[in-house]
Structure 1
Amino acid sequence: MLELPTTHILGFIIKLYLHVRVISSMILNMDIDWDAKVLSSLTPVINNLREIQINNQEIENVADWLAYEEFPSPQNNKTKKNPEEVIRTTLLVNTLNFAFTDFEKSIKYEIERDGYIFSDSEAMFTQINETLATGTKLYHGDVLSSLDMDKLNKIFSGNIEMPMMSERLKILNEVGEKLSSEYKGDWINFINKGPKKLYSDGEGLIERLIEEFPRFDDKTILEDRQEVHFYKLAQLAFWGIHGELSGGGHFVVEDMHKMSAFADYIVPVALEVMKIITYSETLNNKIMNGELIERDSREEVEIRAVSLYTTAKLTEEVNKRRPLDKQIIIPQLDYRLWKQYHATHRPHHLTITTMY
């Protein structure tokens, strides 16, 4: 029998232990963190639903077939851009990533390029990239703070006027002023100020973003003063950066398991079509007739809260049906639903807001 030196055995045991710890951590981090900032804040809404019913059996039914689909994993900078350019562009995109449907005519903002129709945020993203390609550093604080309506209209020109243009200009000017005054105009300086975590005792990426740039502070205060946190654009920004750059190790968010879905107009459509949620007759009629639903109203808060809760539950059920090396996190499921339904003709709720 071959005997290994004690030092070799000890080294092997240490390596094996560390390997198991890493694998265990990866598996653990695929679990739904119901204590995370966003998901934990939903409880008072979910426990008192009036306008929406959650169909738990349908969550399991959908998971039975959805579990066997492929979900995109983080890419190794598939756009081949400089990682810092990816970060700057993604934060700019999510500063503007809201309201692409005309509130009176229910027509979506679209552009055509080479015979292909780009709709809503994809259209905006295309036009931002076109502007950057001209050499204009649209993401830089000095450029943003000096934008005027004429310049903005030249950037965003489509089948309709992009909704809420005056609000967009105000947001861009304010964000630009903050970047210029605090971070020499560069998002990279903001990113490098703290840890690569969403939450870290007030110093996390989301925590600092919503504190320093109020346009990202997406929350609702209930009648009893409890806060419900959504953070749609803040979360989406860092998911976009992580998804593009983590595969190559350029930018890895360490606590991605704390992220929820992104409460917008599209995911509720997917959930309703899949029969996971059912609207009350009154709410359903408002949606189908294109009636405006007021920001922070009970109906709007329920739609957004239920979207986040049920996508978390669906992710949980999907993972029960997948092997450990095929586990997914909530944003992957969100993207699957958004990609399938974002250009659908089925009506979605309409709320005038800059948060989604």
Structure 2
Amino acid sequence: MAPSLSSTRAPPRARVPLQVRAAAAVAAKSSRTAAVPLPSQRVLDSCRTVAEHADQVRVGDAAAIDHAAHTILDGLVAGRYSTASWRAHPLHPQVADRHAAEFIFLLDLMNFSFWSDSDTLFTVTYRGIAYTGYWSLVAAINRARDEGIAITSAYRMATMLRETLQHVFRSDSETPISLFEERFEAIRQAGQVLLRRFGGSIVNLIKEARGSCQALIELVLQHFPTFDDRSTYKGKTVYLYKRVQILVADLWACFEGRGLGAFHDIDLVTMFADYRVPQGLVHLGLLDYSPALLAELHVGDLIPPGSATEVEIRTTSIWAVELVARRIKELLRKRTDLMETPMVNAILIDFYVWDYAKAHQDELAKIPIHRTRTIFY
């Protein structure tokens, strides 16, 4: 005779409060991922390893780091570099709202490869002013919105026609925007992911990170592979994450650390390794290129993405800025004359060096940039 159902049923389980179950789930997830470094720490750890064993690039000595730290600290104390600096440029969104977050997402989705093979740069004229480089992209987005093209909306991104994007990125010079097809593919895919996974809203993506820029970086890397900037050096993976880190930095700066830009762990973000900041770092004595590398750069040949040369330039830049940030923090601890201690992190130092390099282009002309055609910067 088969046993009755009642005789085999397990005793009723005690009802566990929802809060307890949620806490247990978080703890279990934390235990599973505890061994995985946060994304910005992955960048720092892997870049330090390369920087300490690089063949063609060296980080400046202690004296150079100290001198740069004092120079940059003076700028921070004077208030020339803070989160407020970001919105000081009239092309950047002037109101920190949902539309600004959408603008920033599209901006950093497209934030790469502005140098030209010729002497003539891709140029966008907006409200009577001709812009090149990074600012040509910002101007193009503003111009499109003025023309009634809702280019920052997820739906418009997902359904973007090639002809429409060609119109958005039309050049006012003979040089077209570089890597157009890659930009077209990235914008379509990103719009589709926003619609499918985040209800068509970048705000939902940001809120899912719950105030952690590291969680936001992981979400972006997981769902938007165009941001997954990594290389291999002597058989080991090197994480660089330029555009995804500048995405969270731009949100933080635009919102001045509040609202959608409130990240409790923003100081973990590293500098953003591109082709302009290394040039400024060499000028400041924070990087030292070997004679052979300098000769190669002066020739102007393309340096392949992922090559040892490119990886060394980018990783040493990240590590040099980290050392400067640490030195500035040491100096601040000794200062007793400040009414208010300025915020110091790799983001603001990156902003400083980038602005410095742009403002002193003629002076820095003798230091060639490395020419690498890539979607990552």
User: Please, what TM-score do these two structures have when normalized by structure 1?
Assistant: 0.82
Give the superposition deviation at 1:152.
Answer: 1.5
1:83 partnered with 2:112? no
Alpha-carbon distance change, 283 to 90 in structure 1, aligned in 2, over 3 angstroms? same
Q: Is the 8 A contact 1:90 1:241 kept in 2?
A: yes
Match of 2:205 among 187, 190, 193: 190
Per-residue CA shift, 1:100-152, capped at 9, x if unaligned? 112x3254333344554422111111110221233322122221122233211
Residue 348 of structure 1 aligns with which residue? Answer: 369
Alpha-carbon distance change, 86 to 34 in structure 1, aligned in 2, over 3 angstroms? closer
Unaligned runs of 5+ in 1: 1-32
Give secondary structure in 1 for the equivalent of 2:131.
strand
Distance (Å, rounded) in 2 between the aligned partners of 1:283 and 1:339? 25
1:59 partnered with 2:65? yes
Which has the larger Rg? 2
RMSD: 2.3
Per-residue CA shift, 1:315-344, capped at 9, x if unaligned? 222233334712411100100111121362
1:244 partnered with 2:224? no
Give the superposition deviation at 1:175.
Answer: 1.1
Give the superposition deviation at 1:248.
Answer: 4.8
Q: How many residue pairs get matched?
A: 318
For 1:351, the aligned partner's letter is: T
Compare 142-151 and 307-316 and name the one that shifted more.
Answer: 142-151
Alpha-carbon distance change, 327 to 243 in structure 1, aligned in 2, over 3 angstroms? closer
Match of 2:232 among 221, 238, 245: 221
Compare 306-315 and 145-154 and name the one that shifted more.
Answer: 145-154
Distance (Å, rounded) in 2 between the aligned partners of 1:215 and 1:114? 31
Describe how 1:1-356 pairs up with structure 2 within 5 A.
36-56=41-61, 57-70=63-76, 71-75=80-84, 79-81=93-95, 83-102=97-116, 104-105=117-118, 107-113=120-126, 116-158=129-171, 159=173, 160-199=175-214, 204-224=215-235, 226-322=236-332, 323=335, 325-342=341-358, 344-345=361-362, 346=365, 347-356=368-377
Alpha-carbon distance change, 106 to 282 in structure 1, aligned in 2, over 3 angstroms? farther
Q: Is the 8 A contact 1:141 1:185 kept in 2?
A: yes
Alpha-carbon distance change, 244 to 333 in structure 1, aligned in 2, over 3 angstroms? same
Give secondary structure in 1 for the equivalent of 2:288.
strand
For 1:289, the aligned partner's letter is: V
Unaligned runs of 5+ in 2: 1-37
Compare 227-236 and 136-145 and name the one that shifted more.
Answer: 136-145
Alpha-carbon distance change, 35 to 280 in structure 1, aligned in 2, over 3 angstroms? same
Give secondary structure in 2 for the equivalent of 1:42.
helix
What fraction of aligned residue pairs are identical, expressed as a percent? 21
Give the superposition deviation at 1:237.
Answer: 0.7
Give secondary structure in 2 for the equivalent of 1:220.
strand
User: Please, what TM-score do these two structures have when normalized by structure 2?
Assistant: 0.78
